[in-house]
Structure 1
Amino acid sequence: MARNDARRQTLADAGLSVVAREGMRGLTHRSVDAQAGVPVGTTSNYFRTRAALIAALVERIGERLAPDPTVHAPWLDRAPTPSLFADYAHDIVRRLLADREVSLALFTLRVEAARNPEIAEPLREWMRTGFAADVAFNRAAGLPGGDFEIALFHFALEGLVLDRLTVSIDPEISTDAAVEAFVRGILGEDPPPGQRPVPA
């Protein structure tokens, strides 16, 4: 059948809704049909197997969590300091918290990946590709921090988002304050005026 990207996105979005609400046990071709409001059999026509459906969900997560270029555009001429890095980190957290459904689906997939290779394979590839892109962007922008520091930020920010979306250790702690503390703890303070930071 001809590729219909809009329909594929609709079905993937419906699948993410099912996973966020019911977990992986609720994810079937029929449940996606029902969530999307399409005739029975539509999802299986586009994604023949459960593995193909899961791969489509992973791909759609990346699309929905992608940064908005208009948000980043004003930052391109700024000095590559920890403060600029912090703005990018705040943006990541805002996107993850703004699309609660897709973030819950992502965390659900990650937990299930520990038990199911069918989920682990596409998720691992997507995550490692994304991490490599983050490192490359950081290096090209001259921002402080190398591979290790970027990995630490993934650990910290994803843990923070999980806390905010589920049962919080301390909901009184500001999300923004936590991000700022991560940046200071991993990258340090901004250099004195006129002194360009040296990337790690």
Structure 2
Amino acid sequence: MARRNDRRRAALVDAAIEVLARDGARGLTFRAVDTEAAVPTGTASNYFGSRDDLFTQAGARIYERLQPDEATIARQRAADRDRETYAELMRELVGRVASFRAGYLALLELRLEATRRPELRRVLTERVRADVDANVAYHETSGLPGDAMAVKLLMLTLNWLIVEQLTLPDVFSEEERDRLATAAVERIVGAEQTARPQG
């Protein structure tokens, strides 16, 4: 029974993500989630104590779904450790995150809503900080070029490139998006290496 309840809860949270992406934070109601999940009216309210609870669980779920799968991680670990490989990894990252359109748009809605909901702000702050720390830690052990500052600058740069792609997709073509991701790596990592003291 617990496993079935966990699956139902995950399906409801996934439905909440779709509602957030389509209708925004104001449209996220228990009824809208029930409709999106094709479950009887009142189901979502049985699983979530409040809209705040639904918001925070949706935020956590988006980050779960944005994680690369094991095959992607294994391929990245086996790749070369030069700047071109780094650029390829970043192009793949932008493409993978942008392909979860509903999740990323829902995340933008949640970030705006977090300015009004302290608990949601706390959850997102912890999750994003953990994501930053995990990316820096992975990078430091990976042997890829660049330092922690380069990782953070790339995260900030590429996040906005993803926002641009999802909200105004005609501003840059897919080819331009790839070139921009490559240029971000070359300039940020290259600048970091140039600035590093010699010997």
The TM-score with structure 1 as length reference comes to 0.86
Residue 196 of structure 1: aligned partner: none
From the two aligned structures, give the one with the greater helix fraction: 2
Deviations 1:164-188 (A, max 9, x none): 1112583246110010000001012
For residues 94-124 of structure 1, the C-alpha deviation after alignment (integer angstroms, 9 at most, x for no partner) is 1111111111111111122233323212111
Q: CA deviation at 1:156?
A: 0.5
Structure 1 partner of 2:93: 92
- Unaligned regions of 5+ residues in structure 1, if any? 192-200
1:88 to partner: Cα distance: 2.1
Query: Aligned-pair distance for 1:148?
Result: 1.6
Deviations 1:18-76 (A, max 9, x none): 10001000111221111111112211221112222112101210121111221332332
TM alignment of 1:17-28, pairs within 5 A? 17-28=18-29
Q: Distance in 2 between matches of 1:25 and 1:77?
A: 44
Residue type at the aligned position of 1:81:
D
Shift of residue 154, structure 1, vs aligned partner: 1.2
Please say if 1:171 is aligned against 2:188: no
1:15 — aligned with what? 16
> Any stretches of 5+ residues in structure 2 without a counterpart?
194-199
> Alpha carbons of 1:168 and 1:78: their partners in 2 closer, same or farther (altered >3 Å)?
closer
- Mapped partners of 2:70, 2:25: distance in 1: 32
Q: Indicate the residue corresponding to 1:180 in structure 2.
A: 182
User: Deviation of residue 78 (structure 1)?
Assistant: 3.3
Q: RMSD of the TM alignment (CA)?
A: 2.1
Identity level (%): 39
